[in-house]
């Protein structure tokens, strides 16, 4: 993180070496930060990536990070192509080394794929052809990208696509820089067989990775769905994927053949170059457009059904999808901040974990619009006293939960900060009646009593956890059944948000500043993303992160189920000043809130929203209970 001294210096003159004016933070991690900035002399918007001088220690490690940081700039500067994000400048300033890039307004391909309306085959092929042309320019400059994935493909509002993030790229023109056997770079879901085996890689490796992306775009799911990283890498190295048409994808003739050829195990069997692949993709696009026009004339078919898209888990469960949008704040997914990082003999980790979801089927269908099981007519709680903050405290009769009464009245829901997603906007003034919500997440000890009383089987308990840890590996249905047994209910997401942030619209439960150790069990720094996850901790540990009402772990530890169906337009559908608004009537996924030990700082914000299929169970997903006031 920026030191207070450096932050004050930057804020004082809003500049960097007198050339760039820093305007707003886009993203920040333990190693550096990306800012929206202005090139002062030209009044040109840019993105400036800073590497903090104090980011790495000991000195040898810092020197290696600085070498790689500047190598990224030098490699990117070689490429000048409409389909590759341009590097404009690099140097050293008060806060450390910096790289200036063109500023991309728009979204990543990942955000587009995970949005409410994925691209049609023709649209997807148009984007993929652009990616292939950009890749051809990268290869022409003597560079192998080595980390092609949807997160590293940015799309502007006009539909133009640009490749970014050369943080782990290999320079083929330098004979002295060679990848050692057994040193693995990349993101497992998109790695080539030779990458998975730690062998030297060339342009054909990038062709394979782009083939994996193309398969996901066109088939609705990646070619291999293993959640275990070793099994996933073995699949890339030895298994032939199913033709995408077998997954129910309606693709033009020749698509199966091209995708499977691109995913050949032997590099020499793949398309001979990225330009050849671009031409093949353009030819398929022409067929797809013709087929689409003919189908439109014949009938207006139902909307394309999304196939749930799983992603590999790398040393961390990532059950909850952090919702994305089609109109985000500017993104520049570059280098160690939002791209991949190197670990010898290991794998690259993303700062923003990708969603991990159930194995896809050929066709998905909306889940039944089943409302939450109702709480018992008489809440299963009784009043005990007041907490030290003056709020009434109630005790669950059956499960012993401690619930705090939230006074009725208005609060501000949603976010307007730089990190706010479109589904967090606009901010709305919402009025809620009094309600009760548990001080902590439901524990294993409480869930064990429920299972004993009802005969329900206990879920698997993560290694090393005892009865004081939050109950996880429970589906939304499991959590709702627990609440019905206890005479309680799940909180609505608006109730959850009010309990987390009170009435002053604060960014985090404890205030405006990002989390410090002891406030939230999450990934605060890049170093923590490289570490093996310590997992969830016992409930009630993060006392310094308490909400204004006294609730604990409302940021981090584990995601928490809410009662609502997820609706991307939830706040837009509500009038300002709405009182006790009803929840969405139907949906495919349920809302999760609070972030987890697997997530970074962004997901710790009170307004951050997650979603997950209600049948999903994961070791970073639990719940807390709520109730009406008796």
Give the residue numbers marked as catalytic. Answer: 147
3-state secondary structure 83-151: CECCEEEEEEECCEEEEEEECCCCEEHHHHHHCCCCCCHHHHHHHHHHHHHHHHHHHHCCEECCCCCHH
What is the dihedral sign for C-alpha 419, 422, 428, 430?
negative
Quick one: angle between helices 121-140 and 274-298, nearest 10? 170
Contacts of 161 (CB under 8 A, 6+ apart): 83, 109, 127, 130, 131, 134, 153, 154, 155
Tokens 């030290």 — which residue?
388
- Which of the 8 DSSP states describes residue 241? P
Confirm if 200 and 194 have CB atoms less than 8 A apart: yes
Which of 104, 105, 342, 311 is closest to 213 using CA atoms?
Answer: 311
Q: What residues are paired with 402 via a beta bridge?
A: 395
The C-alpha atoms of residue 336 and residue 231 are separated, in whole angstroms, by 26
Identify the H or E element spanning 292: helix 274-298
The C-alpha atoms of residue 565 and residue 367 are separated, in whole angstroms, by 10
Tokens encoding 519: 């406030």
User: 3-class SS at 200?
Assistant: coil
Q: Report angle CA 464, 468, 470 to the nearest 5 degrees.
A: 85
Q: Report angle CA 356, 605, 576 to the nearest 5 degrees.
A: 110
User: 3-class SS at 326?
Assistant: coil
Contacts of 102 (CB under 8 A, 6+ apart): 46, 47, 85, 86, 88
Confirm if 471 and 582 have CB atoms less than 8 A apart: no
Which of 195, 191, 187, 146 is closest to 166 using CA atoms?
Answer: 146
């Amino acid at each position: 993180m920026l030191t207070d001294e450096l932050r004050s210096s930057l804020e004082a003159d809003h500049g960097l070496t007198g050339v760039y004016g820093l305007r707003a933070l886009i993203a920040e991690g333990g190693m550096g930060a990306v800012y929206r900035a202005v090139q002062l002399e030209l009044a040109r918007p840019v993105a400036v990536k800073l590497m903090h001088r104090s980011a790495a220690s000991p000195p040898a490690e810092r020197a290696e990070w600085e070498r790689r940081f500047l190598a990224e700039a030098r490699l990117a500067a070689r490429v000048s192509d409409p389909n590759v994000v341009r590097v404009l400048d690099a140097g050293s300033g008060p806060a450390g080394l910096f790289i200036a890039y063109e500023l991309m307004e728009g979204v990543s391909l990942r955000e587009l794929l995970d949005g409410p309306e994925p691209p049609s085959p023709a649209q997807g092929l148009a984007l993929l052809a652009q990616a292939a042309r950009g890749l051809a320019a990268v290869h022409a400059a003597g560079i192998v990208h080595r980390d092609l994935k949807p997160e590293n493909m940015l799309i502007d509002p006009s539909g133009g696509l640009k490749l970014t993030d050369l943080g782990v790229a290999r320079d083929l023109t330098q004979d002295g820089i060679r990848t050692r056997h057994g040193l693995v770079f990349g993101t497992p879901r998109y790695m080539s067989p030779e990458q998975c085996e730690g062998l030297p890689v060339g342009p054909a490796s990038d062709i394979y990775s782009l083939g994996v992306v193309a398969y996901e775009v066109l088939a609705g799911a990646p070619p291999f769905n293993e959640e275990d990283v070793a099994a996933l890498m073995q699949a890339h190295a030895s298994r032939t994927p199913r033709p995408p048409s077998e997954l129910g994808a309606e693709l033009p003739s020749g698509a199966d053949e091209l995708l499977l050829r691109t995913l050949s195990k032997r590099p020499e069997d793949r398309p001979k170059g990225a330009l050849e692949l671009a031409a093949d993709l353009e030819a398929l696009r022409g067929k797809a457009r013709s087929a689409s026009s003919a189908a439109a004339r014949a009938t207006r078919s139902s909307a394309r059904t999304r196939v749930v898209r799983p992603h590999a888990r790398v040393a961390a469960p990532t059950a909850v999808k952090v919702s994305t949008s089609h109109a985000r704040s500017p993104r520049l997914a570059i280098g160690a901040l939002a791209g991949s990082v190197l670990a010898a003999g290991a794998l690259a980790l993303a700062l923003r974990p990708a969603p991990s979801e159930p194995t896809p089927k050929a066709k998905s269908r909306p889940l039944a619009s089943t409302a939450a099981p109702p709480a018992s007519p008489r809440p299963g709680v009784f009043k005990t006293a007041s907490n030290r903050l003056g709020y009434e405290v109630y005790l669950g009769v059956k499960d012993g939960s401690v619930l705090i009464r939230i006074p009725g009245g208005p609060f501000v829901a949603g976010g307007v900060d730089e990190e706010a997603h479109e589904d967090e906007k606009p901010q709305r003034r919402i009025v809620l009646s009094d309600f009760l919500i548990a001080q902590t997440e439901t524990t294993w000890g409480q869930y064990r009593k429920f299972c004993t009383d009802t005969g329900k089987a206990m879920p698997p308990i993560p290694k090393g956890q005892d009865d004081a840890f939050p109950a996880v590996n429970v589906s939304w249905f499991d959590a709702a059944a627990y609440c019905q047994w206890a005479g309680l209910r799940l909180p609505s997401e608006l109730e959850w948000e009010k309990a987390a942030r009170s009435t002053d619209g604060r960014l985090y439960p404890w205030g405006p500043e990002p989390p410090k150790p002891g406030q939230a069990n999450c990934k605060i720094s890049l170093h923590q993303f490289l570490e093996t996850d310590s997992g969830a901790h016992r409930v009630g540990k993060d006392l310094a992160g308490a909400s204004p009402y006294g609730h604990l772990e409302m940021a981090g530890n584990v995601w928490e189920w809410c009662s609502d169906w997820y609706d991307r337009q939830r706040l837009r559908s509500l009038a300002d000043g709405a009182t006790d608004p009803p929840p969405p009537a139907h949906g495919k996924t349920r809302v999760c809130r609070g972030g987890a030990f697997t997530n970074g700082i962004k997901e710790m914000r009170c307004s951050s929203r997650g979603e997950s299929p209600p049948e999903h169970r994961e070791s970073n997903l639990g719940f807390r209970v709520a109730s009406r006031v008796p």
